[in-house]
Amino acid sequence: MEERTDQQLVKASLDGDRAAFEVLVHRHQDSVFGLAVGMTRNREDAADMAQDAFVRAYTKLEQYNPDYSFKSWLLRICANQTKNLFRKRTRRRETEEKCLKIQEVEASAEVPDFQALEEALAGLAPKFSAPVRLKYMEGLAYEEISRILGIGVSAAKMRVLRGRKQLAEILSHE
Amino acid sequence: MNSEDKILEMLEKHRTSAPNDFADGVMDALPNFRKAKRRGWWPAKGQWIAPALVGAAASLLILFLSGRFQPSEVQGHVGFHFELHAPGADTVELLGTFNNWKMGDIVLNGPDASGHWTASVELPEGRHEYIFLVDGKRWVADPNGTTHRPDGFGRVNSVINYYEDDNA
């Protein structure tokens, strides 16, 4: 059977088909979680943020415009949720301790080289890690990245470039 | 591993996997209100459009025949104040659905001492999308706008929904 598109699944979800939304969750969970990890550098926070993003997307599904990419819409929600989390924490003056804490990245079941890469990504500053992930792991254009993260296109390019260099530097020391 | 190209190649092949039980957690956390399709006398999503249009057309016809109809250019216009902080800019323009996205049509005044550009525009009732164009090359969504929408060309438009009933 032909795989249903995101737009078809959204339509089915709007008609009350919960299983259709579950397919969307499975399809995009790694992308959303990856962005959240990139922004928080903390897997627990990332899981919370990614989950919140999906729940929020579900409750706001009527607002999604099917002419555009569902994944980008979802990633944008996730980026906004995560930024809001940071803002709230900043208000409580806990941000730096919590967000700059680099958590031990859980052992991956993938080939060992990816473990080193994952650790290097965790070592990148969030402002570089998220754009690098979106650019190379999600294959998004700079315009899309700038929209998702709420930064300018040139800032997105600059952050990807600097993130790449930092990543190479971290990996060269291993 | 040291080569940047190789790193990029690895990045492109790699995914950070969500935890195993992630999807289950999401599904458990979803609210139940969309569990079943609504069935009742009220039309379901999308199915109200045709009857609503017929109703609206009938109402307009009645108003028109009774001589109480006034064209929209006479009623329902409200002045909107647009403002953008762009201290280093040479020009700031406003383009939107209300001027057919025409460049050079609405040029904002400014900058003032604090770098703000402003314009006041009379808009009719309805939904309007717009964007600022800075120095003829940089597209900027209104940072003061509450609603934004991707335009499908890589930019984000701001949205004004102005309906008299909402402001009564």
Query: In chain B, where are the structural domains located?
Result: 78-167
Among A11, A48, A55, which would you mutate to test the B interface (most chain B Cβ atoms within 10 Å of its Cβ)? A55
Decide if pLDDT at A159 tops 90. yes
B48 touches A: beta carbon within 8 Å: no
Residue A170: which pLDDT band, with cuts at 50, 70 and 90?
confident
Contacts of A50 in chain B (CB under 8 A): 18, 22
Q: Does the interface ipTM go beyond 0.95?
A: no
Contact B31 A58 (CB under 8 A): yes
Contacts of A110 in chain B (CB under 8 A): 14
Mean pLDDT of A141-167: 90
Distance from the B106 Cα atom to the nearest Cα atom in chain A, whole angstroms:
24
DSSP per residue over chain A, as a string?
Answer: -PPPPHHHHHHHHHTT-HHHHHHHHHHHHHHHHHHHHHHHS-HHHHHHHHHHHHHHHHHTGGG--TTS-HHHHHHHHHHHHHHHHHHHHHHTT-HHHHHS--PPPPPPSS-HHHHHHHHHHHHS-HHHHHHHIIIIIS---HHHHHHHHT--HHHHHHHHHHHHHHHHHHHHT-
Better-predicted residue by pLDDT, A117 or A103: A117
Which CATH number is associated with domain B78-167?
Answer: 2.60.40.10
Residue A28: which pLDDT band, with cuts at 50, 70 and 90?
very high
pLDDT value at residue B108: 93
pLDDT value at residue A24: 95
Residue B76: which pLDDT band, with cuts at 50, 70 and 90?
low
A147 touches B: beta carbon within 8 Å: yes
Residue B45: which pLDDT band, with cuts at 50, 70 and 90?
low
What is the fold, at CATH topology level, of the domain defined by A6-172? Rna Polymerase Sigma Factor; Chain: A (1.10.1740)
pLDDT value at residue B51: 74
Contact A29 B22 (CB under 8 A): yes
Contact B16 A33 (CB under 8 A): yes
Residue A40: which pLDDT band, with cuts at 50, 70 and 90?
confident
Lowest mean pLDDT among A19-33, A70-84, B27-41, B98-112: B27-41
Residue of A67, A68, A167 with shortest CB distance to B7: A167
Better-predicted residue by pLDDT, B63 or A169: A169
Residue of B18, B154, B155 with shortest CB distance to A30: B18
Decide if pLDDT at A98 tops 90. no
Decide if pLDDT at A89 tops 90. no
pTM: 0.51
Provide the residue ranges of all domains of chain A, joining segments of one domain with +. 6-172
Give the whole-angstrom CA distance, residue B102 versus residue B106.
8
Q: Is the peptide bond before A66 cis (omega within 30 degrees of 0)?
A: no
Better-predicted residue by pLDDT, B146 or A94: B146
Contact A132 B11 (CB under 8 A): yes
Lowest mean pLDDT among A100-114, A128-142, B18-32: A100-114
% of residues, chain A, pLDDT over 90 = 31
Q: Are strands B156-162 and B147-150 parallel, antiparallel or unpaired?
A: antiparallel
pLDDT value at residue A77: 92
* CB of B130 closer than 8 Å to CB of B96: yes
pLDDT value at residue A31: 92
Residue B161: which pLDDT band, with cuts at 50, 70 and 90?
confident
